[in-house]
């Protein structure tokens, strides 16, 4: 068993690397009248993409007082970067097989991105604090408009799954789209957070994040779901480097941890239906070092059958039949996650693990599963420090 905290030098909080995205050369023209947004059948404006590399942003201000110039600089960067990233997502939707791209739910997401592109592109240049404040309201509106995109994509691909002939194309599309969405939300949320005077944060970067505390938060969340569904939930023991603290961004963990904990609890309860009030604990182990940190979640839920172990990280579009999924469970999940700035539920769509894997890899880490059929499963989440040795991840 691990104990104590690995010795680490005092954290250097200077930069979070934001990857350059490619610029669109032609700007789409604004509409007239009621500004009706373009149909997804239109190819104009998005045919030429990605020739010039946009600048990276590497500096974040380590200060408690709000720096107005930092807000303005961040706003200008976001105003320039968002249309670039959104345009790439639109191009991705238009690269889907025709019959899949015509699915009403997927088409709705496509239209959301087109609408967002025009809203940001048509916004005036940020020259003063008043314009920047209006831009913040626009950014918040876009975050709200897109909060259900993951669920909508899952629903859309489930509806047209019988038309999918090449799953590698779909996996590549979903990995890219979901990770791009995470990156955009991190940039947007960081800009909004710069306006908050929080001594523990620099934007969305927690200066001294405690893995134990964030795990405990999502343990409580997952136990509530489990108790609602099964009448009881397994206890969770946390060990290892429980006193570790380091600079990190909580947002990705807020997506990944509840999914992993929920899976462990559900497997535990469903493998002990005969003794629902006498179930083994779920054990979470934290390991911290100078390069990365690892969170291992171990359950005794019987493990994963051999016939599907190689597919657990694939987008299956359905892991729970609609007929057996309790709608009250989804409603409760919606209520809790929305109150915690989470996206909509992933349970029942087969998106939880593959999305978590994609997020972990996007952040320079990994998510792996080790199963002992008949005993249980260990899931390893490995993420690179943003202030550790070597280059950090890029958003």
Nearest residue to 149 (alpha-carbon basis) of 115, 103, 106:
106
Give, as one character, the DSSP assignment of residue 394: B
Q: Name the band, by pLDDT with cuts 50, 70 and 90, for residue 348.
A: low
pTM for this one?
Answer: 0.79
Nearest residue to 355 (alpha-carbon basis) of 194, 73, 149:
149
Under a CB-based contact definition with an 8 Å cutoff, are residues 87 and 153 in contact? Answer: no
Q: Is the pLDDT of residue 41 over 70?
A: no
Which residues have CB under 8 Å from 314's CB, separation 6+?
A: 167, 171, 350, 354
User: From CA 213, how far away is CA 259, in angstroms rounded?
Assistant: 17
Which domains, ranges and CATH numbers included, belong to the chain?
A: 22-54+66-196 (1.20.140.20), 205-384 (3.30.565.10)
- Joined together, the tokens standing for residue 15 give 């930069």
The confidence score (pLDDT) of residue 230 equals 94
- Joined together, the tokens standing for residue 186 give 């991190």
Which residues have CB under 8 Å from 384's CB, separation 6+?
A: 291, 292, 363, 364, 365, 390, 392, 393
Tens digit of pLDDT for each residue in 20-38?
343 333 333 333 344 434 4
């Amino acid at each position: 068993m691990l104990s104590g905290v690995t010795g680490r030098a005092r954290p250097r909080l200077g930069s979070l690397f934001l990857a350059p995205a490619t610029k669109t050369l032609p700007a789409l023209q604004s509409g007239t009248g009621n500004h009706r947004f373009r149909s997804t059948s239109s190819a104009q404006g998005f045919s030429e993409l990605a020739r010039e590399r946009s600048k990276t942003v590497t500096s974040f201000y380590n200060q408690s007082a709000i720096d107005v110039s930092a807000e303005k600089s961040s706003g200008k960067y976001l105003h320039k970067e968002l249309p670039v990233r959104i345009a790439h997502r639109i191009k991705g939707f238009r690269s889907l097989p025709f019959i899949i791209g015509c699915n009403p739910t997927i088409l709705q997401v496509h239209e959301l991105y087109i609408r967002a592109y025009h809203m940001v592109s048509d916004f005036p240049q940020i020259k003063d604090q008043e314009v920047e404040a209006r831009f913040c309201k626009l950014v918040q509106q876009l975050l709200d408009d897109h909060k259900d995109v993951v669920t909508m994509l899952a629903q859309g691909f489930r509806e047209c799954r019988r038309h999918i002939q090449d799953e590698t194309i779909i996996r590549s599309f979903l990995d890219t789209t979901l990770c791009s969405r995470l990156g955009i939300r991190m940039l947007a949320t960081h800009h909004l957070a710069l306006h908050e005077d929080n001594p523990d944060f620099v934007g969305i970067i927690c200066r001294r994040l405690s893995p134990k505390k964030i795990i405990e938060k999502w343990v409580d969340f997952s136990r509530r779901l489990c108790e609602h569904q099964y009448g009881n939930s397994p206890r969770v023991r946390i060990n290892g480097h429980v006193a570790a603290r380091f600079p990190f961004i909580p947002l990705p963990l807020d997506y990944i941890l509840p999914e992993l904990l929920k899976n462990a609890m559900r497997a535990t309860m469903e493998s002990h239906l005969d003794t629902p009030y006498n179930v083994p604990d779920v054990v979470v182990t934290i390991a911290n070092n100078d390069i990365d940190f690892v969170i291992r979640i171990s359950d005794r839920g019987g493990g994963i059958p051999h016939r599907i172990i190689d597919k657990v990280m694939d987008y299956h579009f359905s892991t729970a039949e609609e007929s057996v999924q309790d709608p009250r469970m989804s409603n409760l999940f919606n209520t809790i996650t929305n109150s915690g700035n989470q996206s909509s539920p992933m349970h029942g769509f087969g998106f939880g693990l593959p999305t978590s894997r994609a997020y972990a890899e996007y952040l320079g880490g990994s998510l792996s599963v080790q199963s002992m059929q008949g005993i249980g499963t260990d899931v390893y989440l490995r993420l690179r420090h943003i202030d550790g040795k070597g280059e950090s991840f890029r958003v």
